[in-house]
Structure 1
Amino acid sequence: MKILALDTTSGACSVALYSGGQICEQFVRAERDHTRRLLPMVDQVLAEAGLSLGQLDALAVSRGPGSFTGLRIAISFTQGLAFAADKPVVPVSSLAALAAGARRSHPEWRDAPIVAMLDARMQQVYWGIYAAETPNDSMLPEAVQDPERVVQRLREASLSQPLYGAGPGWHYPPFADAPVAEYDLESPIHARDIAELALPLWQNGAAVAAEALEPLYLRDEITWQKRQKIRSK
């Protein structure tokens, strides 16, 4: 199985190639210039593996949630590659990828649920909870909510302890009262984790045609309009 994965969801840009159980990745922390960086990174990982785009089985990309601009860049770029090579695409949750990367970086967390969290701005976060046994599926529905509401839901949920947190969304002060043993604000999303999460999804028939690929924003249009009105007052 050969899968090329891309991510520009947050403050990083990464490309990874999964081939026969091996992964090579290009990763850089960059708030801007994602569009300029992606193609050379794709060329590099393909060259390292001695493969061409046409030899891939599929592409994979973060479907969101995340930055509007970041998601559109990664998805549009992936669609272009998929159209050019006539390959399907596997959409992967950016929060699931964040949790998988944190579990890889913190082996001591390997058996515990991880609460992945991205800053949604407007004093809200995108979040989900991921167990090692079901890394693609959040134990509660992925959501965008105020930090206070997240803390409340974590306290009300019947979840095994300890819990751990990962991602830049944890910076809000109310999370000081969250029922987690520890959290890592610096956990980024890596394309290598998207590639690995894409493999079981591919095997379960979750790949889509390039033209059917859509981002998941979670925050609906009505909410965006209300927030824009508030900010303009």
Structure 2
Amino acid sequence: MPSTPRILALDTATQACSLALFGRGELRRRHEMLARAHNRHILQMLSDVLQGEVLADSVDVVACGVGPGSFTGLRVAVSVAQGLAWSQRLPVHPFCSLKAQIYAAAEQDLLVEGDHVLSTIDAQIGQLYGLWGVWTGCAVATDRSPFICTPDQVPLPDGSDKLVILGSGVNYQQQFSASRLAKAAQHGMITPDAGVIATLLASGAISLDLQAAHLLTPQYVQRNIGWKKLSEQGRHD
């Protein structure tokens, strides 16, 4: 692995279809709002960022947002990432889409050190996916796992009044039962940004957690969601 790896990152957990390639100090990025159309556009977006280059000559690691988020969207990202990595024998780096939103907000200077950040994605069933993190000024500190709940059941961190809510879950603000949440700063347009993740991974600001392509799976918060790893799917002749 080179000291500055070339990172192809993608995320389709939300309405945004985000794909980026960072290599040799250059970032190429496509980021579009494509609700329920990720599968029709993502391969063209890949072609756009490759700019005629061969994948094997341009990428060292495929980074993939694994959710939680849209079931269909997660399947698109994971399937594409697996196919690309498997075909070129490249390692993959899974990343949490909710945590990626916090990094995207920080990149836009929407966070300050010490902010307690609730990153959310609307689950479209009267519930939201959420993750609490603390912005340290250069990274996201979390000691909890992503959760799904109704807006009135969102858990609160201890102590801090410096609360920020990110992502499409802000649509439920009027249903938040805690007054602290109702008064929090809101940035509802934030979505995972593959360009931010690719840049941070390439620079070492986020540590790589490499695994084989067949181990990549969507991060479903609900239980009993049917998904088989490549190694579990068997042959399809």
TM-score scaled by length of structure 2: 0.81
After superposition, where does 1:152-163 map in structure 2 within 5 Å? 153-154=155-156, 157-163=157-163
- Gap runs ≥5 in structure 1: 223-233
The corresponding residue for 2:69 is 66
Residues 116-152 of structure 1, C-alpha deviations (whole Å, 9 max, x = no match): 00112322111112233374553432211121121xx
Indicate which of 192, 195, 198 corresponds to 1:192. 195
Equivalent AA in structure 1 for residue 165 of structure 2: G
Identity over aligned residues, as a percent? Answer: 32
Relative to structure 1, the CA distance from residue 189 to residue 127 in structure 2 (aligned partners, 3 Å threshold; closer, same or farther) is: same
Relative to structure 1, the CA distance from residue 21 to residue 158 in structure 2 (aligned partners, 3 Å threshold; closer, same or farther) is: farther
Asked if the contact 1:125/1:146 (under 8 Å) is kept, the reply is yes
After superposition, where does 1:75-86 map in structure 2 within 5 Å? 75-86=78-89
Indicate which of 53, 56, 60 corresponds to 1:57. 60
Relative to structure 1, the CA distance from residue 202 to residue 166 in structure 2 (aligned partners, 3 Å threshold; closer, same or farther) is: closer
Superposition RMSD in Å? 2.3
Aligned length: 214
The corresponding residue for 1:167 is 167
Whole-angstrom CA distance in 2 between matches of 1:94 and 1:21? 24
Q: Which structure has more helix as a fraction of its residues? A: 1
The corresponding residue for 1:120 is 123
Answer with 12-21 or 133-142: which moved more.
Answer: 133-142
Asked if the contact 1:115/1:130 (under 8 Å) is kept, the reply is yes
The secondary structure found in structure 1 opposite 2:219 is coil
TM-score scaled by length of structure 1: 0.83
Whole-angstrom CA distance in 2 between matches of 1:63 and 1:196? 18
Relative to structure 1, the CA distance from residue 110 to residue 46 in structure 2 (aligned partners, 3 Å threshold; closer, same or farther) is: farther
- Gap runs ≥5 in structure 2: 226-237
Whole-angstrom CA distance in 2 between matches of 1:21 and 1:136? 24
Whole-angstrom CA distance in 2 between matches of 1:113 and 1:15? 28
Residues 162-202 of structure 1, C-alpha deviations (whole Å, 9 max, x = no match): 11111001111223734353111111221113324545498
Asked if the contact 2:7/2:61 (under 8 Å) is kept, the reply is yes
Asked if the contact 2:11/2:66 (under 8 Å) is kept, the reply is no
The secondary structure found in structure 1 opposite 2:176 is helix
Asked if the contact 1:9/1:94 (under 8 Å) is kept, the reply is yes
Asked if the contact 1:125/1:144 (under 8 Å) is kept, the reply is yes
The corresponding residue for 1:231 is none
Relative to structure 1, the CA distance from residue 108 to residue 60 in structure 2 (aligned partners, 3 Å threshold; closer, same or farther) is: closer
Whole-angstrom CA distance in 2 between matches of 1:136 and 1:220? 26
